[in-house]
Structure 1
Amino acid sequence: MLKEKSYFKEELPINVTTAHIEDYPIHFHDDIEVVYVLEGSIALKNGYYNYILKQGDIFILNDREIHSFTKTNEGNMVMMLQLDLSYFSNYYGNLKNNFFVTDMQDDDESLDILRNILGRIMMEILEKGYGYEHKVIESTHNLLACLLADFQYFLMEDGKFINETKNKGNKVLAGRLRRITGYMYENYTRKLTLNEIADKEHLSIYYLSHVIKEATGLSFQDLLSFIRVEESEKLLLGTNKKVGAISEEMGFSAVRYYIKHFKTWFGMHPLEYRKKFTDKVSSRETAAKYIRCSPQEIEEAIRKQVKGVYTEYIKGKKPNPVIVELDIMAALQEESAENNFIGTLLERDNMKPIARPYNLMVSLKERLLASGINYMITTSCNGTAEINSISILVYNINDFIKNDLQHAENREKIYEIASQYDEEGEFLIKCQGLSGEFNVSRYKISQKNIVTAYQEGLRAPGVASKRETLISSWSTLPDVEFSAITTSEALSIRSTMRGISAEIILIDRQQQSNHSKAKQLLR
């Protein structure tokens, strides 16, 4: 079939294929496609014009443009990104029939921005971290904003459209051209006059003619004939209609004018073109031949092409530390600290497996010194005596997870979230005002502990054997660790976790009854 249907996942309005292409037959689709050559080169036939795209090149295939890909004498790796226009038109107005042209100097700053955005989209999809869909959609919005700002200015030169920089940034002109070309694409099959469009744009015929010629390099009539000829290619290759019928359907007043203009753009008679390319149209017999690239291949190509994005991606894979600096004496002087912790969320009945450390912390009934969405620090001291203890609770829960947990209606959904979320978290608590020798007691529940606890709660009674029940009970046991530390004025405590998990850290001044508070709490 000449028309290729684009398939988009429910949660993503884009579709990305990165592949080594051997041959991708002639086809078109109703959505914009961004082509980015990561390695080697690829031959692109876009309507009447043939291009050789090299490494680093980006080409925009506007909706309904007929095109095909063929390998050159060297290998290639090509990223093909399709955008769901029905989704993005909700934000940017009608994007159909837009012209985006990226034919410009390789070192143009705007192209570098496009490469960075495309690299970021690809890396987010490769990583598939929690909430990656949101990041991908956000980056795609940035991609469209960049296209609308810098790549919808075009000019005809040597038979092909190139990016025109003189009018870049002229939003009034860009909007006017978009309306004019959109109207021409919607009405090219009938008699269409310059006067009709001038009336719609509230411009004189002379000025409108000047605007079109100045902005595109084509006269109004030449632009209209180009649109008609371009659209006729679909009927030539996708139907058996006669040339005369196609000419009439495209809005030409006589078949000789159609043939004349077709030869101008395609360099041959319409029937000759049909004979030459019909057997190269995408079909069951002439299916696309390509090999999808592995994540490792894609990552390596982006590392070479878009180094800044790759470095950012690698950094993003490491824990993003939560750093808390607390002056204990200063905090004690304040009347009360604001509680920003997620306690209300953890107090819900379906959160019990996750809330165990929080409930233990609350049972101490200590004074709050500091808190954030995922940490709280308390003490039993009243501010007048020596500081003998502080208690720290940290949860590897960020804003995304908090929001998802708040909207989880039952234990099944919480179990699903706890099973899927796998990102690392790092906390560094810097406490000022602690001097001496201290015992440090740690109580940590891991993602495995929490997931197993939910599994046990969801399992029907009597289904598991005694052996399975015993093993599961071991999987819910927390890790407990005891150590000692000597400090002078400042103490730093670090905690790292993966997935939804939590840790209580109890710091007690060494006395005769070592670990007294910890033993009482963990008993």
Structure 2
Amino acid sequence: MKLHITYDHPIPINAFEWTPATYQQTPHMHASLEIGLCLSGKGTFSFGNKRYAASPGDLFLVNHEERHVAQSDSDDPSRYLFINFDAAMLLAEEPGLLLPFSYRSTHFCNHIAGGSALAQQLTPWILTIADELKEKSPGYLAMAKSALIQLCGRLLRHYNGLLTEDERLIMVKSVHQVQSLATLVEQRHREPIGLGELADELGLSVSRVSRAFLETTGYRFSDYVSLLRVQSAKRDLTGTDKAVATIAFECGFQSLPTFYRVFKEFVGVSPIVYRQSIGSAQ
């Protein structure tokens, strides 16, 4: 099962607490990346065929390729704080920060033991992100994003040291290819663009760059283009008084029905409702 994630803030980061069921639920996956902190109780956290015991202070890393599910102990149910975020934000900020999440599942330990040096480094940043998004004090969006970058930077330094030189070169090359493609998409997402023409410009095969893009970001190329167009539309909806139809076509959508459908898939509400809700909140 693949879940669709919507975000509760103008930046693509969510923070939420959750208590897993005490029975086995259906594993799921999602395009977003995730870090879970066990706050209390006991249980297990499964990733495919991998199964980890969970106790307070433990951390779990989730990428966009692995099916996963947590389960609580019936006598002492676990409770988690999850930070859920969009890979596209790190791609735009510093692509290398995605490396810890570009793992091959069979060779990766998703569990970071509570009390370990790494857990002690990461936990304060997880709590900071959650606090900033909850309190919404002045500057909270920048503070939450900064804390996430600090968190992922520390993950990068840790996992970079565990890679062989060949693994590091392969992953870095893949991320750089994705960064080059993402830069072109950022520049031209308001225009009609196709993966084939951009891959030709970069001197890459369509199949190679398509696979690398999906593995690194969790997005198919077409979905990433749609994401950028929706982000542009959100800015225009709240920052201008242009008509919705004008915004749709200027942001690269070829028809109004497509714009409305894609916008609601990513944002959760229609463009008109979004404009009204942001306006009433100001």
* 2:171 is the alignment partner of 1:178: yes
1:318-337 C-alpha deviation (Å, 9 max, x unpaired)? xxxxxxxxxxxxxxxxxxxx
Q: Is the CA contact 2:38–2:80 (under 8 Å) kept in the aligned structure 1? A: yes
Normalized per residue, the structure richer in helix is 2
**Which of the pair has more CA radius of gyration?**
1
The share of aligned pairs that are identical, in percent, is 18
Q: Structure 2 vs 1, CA of residues 105 and 45 (structure 1 numbering), >3 Å: closer, same or farther? A: closer
CA separation in 1, counterparts of 2:71 and 2:111?
A: 19
Q: Aligned letter for 1:140?
A: L
Aligned residue number for residue 215 of structure 1: none
Cα deviation, residue 180, structure 1: 7.2
Within the candidate set 76, 79, 91, 1:77 is matched to: 79
1:380-438 C-alpha deviation (Å, 9 max, x unpaired)? xxxxxxxxxxxxxxxxxxxxxxxxxxxxxxxxx9xx87xxxxxxxxxxxxxxxxxxxxx
Aligned residue number for residue 425 of structure 1: none
Within the candidate set 122, 129, 152, 1:114 is matched to: 122
Within the candidate set 139, 153, 172, 1:145 is matched to: 153
Aligned residue number for residue 4 of structure 2: 5
- CA RMSD, 1 decimal: 3.2
Q: Structure 2 vs 1, CA of residues 108 and 93 (structure 1 numbering), >3 Å: closer, same or farther? A: same
Cα deviation, residue 139, structure 1: 0.3
The gaps in structure 1 that reach 5 residues or longer are 154-163, 184-199, 201-230, 232-412, 418-523
Aligned residue number for residue 49 of structure 1: 50
CA separation in 1, counterparts of 2:109 and 2:41?
A: 21
Normalized per residue, the structure richer in strand is 1
Cα deviation, residue 112, structure 1: 0.4
SS in 2 for 1:21: coil
Aligned residue number for residue 14 of structure 2: 15
Q: Aligned letter for 1:77?
A: R
Cα deviation, residue 101, structure 1: 4.4
The gaps in structure 2 that reach 5 residues or longer are 177-203, 205-214, 216-278
Q: Which has the higher contact order (CA 8 A, sep 6+)?
A: 2
Q: Is the CA contact 1:121–1:136 (under 8 Å) kept in the aligned structure 2? A: yes
Q: Is the CA contact 1:39–1:77 (under 8 Å) kept in the aligned structure 2? A: yes
**Could you list the runs of 4 or more consecutive aligned residues of structure 1 that deviate by over 6 angstroms after TM superposition?**
180-183
SS in 1 for 2:3: coil
SS in 1 for 2:78: strand
Q: Structure 2 vs 1, CA of residues 177 and 56 (structure 1 numbering), >3 Å: closer, same or farther? A: farther
* 2:84 is the alignment partner of 1:91: no
TM value normalised by structure 2: 0.53
Q: Is the CA contact 2:57–2:115 (under 8 Å) kept in the aligned structure 1? A: no
TM value normalised by structure 1: 0.30
Aligned residue number for residue 248 of structure 2: none
Q: Aligned letter for 2:56?
A: Q
SS in 1 for 2:102: coil
Equivalent residue runs for 1:190-205 within 5 Å = none
Q: Is the CA contact 2:46–2:52 (under 8 Å) kept in the aligned structure 1? A: yes
Instruction: Report the count of equivalent residues.
Output: 172
CA separation in 2, counterparts of 1:128 and 1:79?
A: 18
Equivalent residue runs for 1:285-304 within 5 Å = none
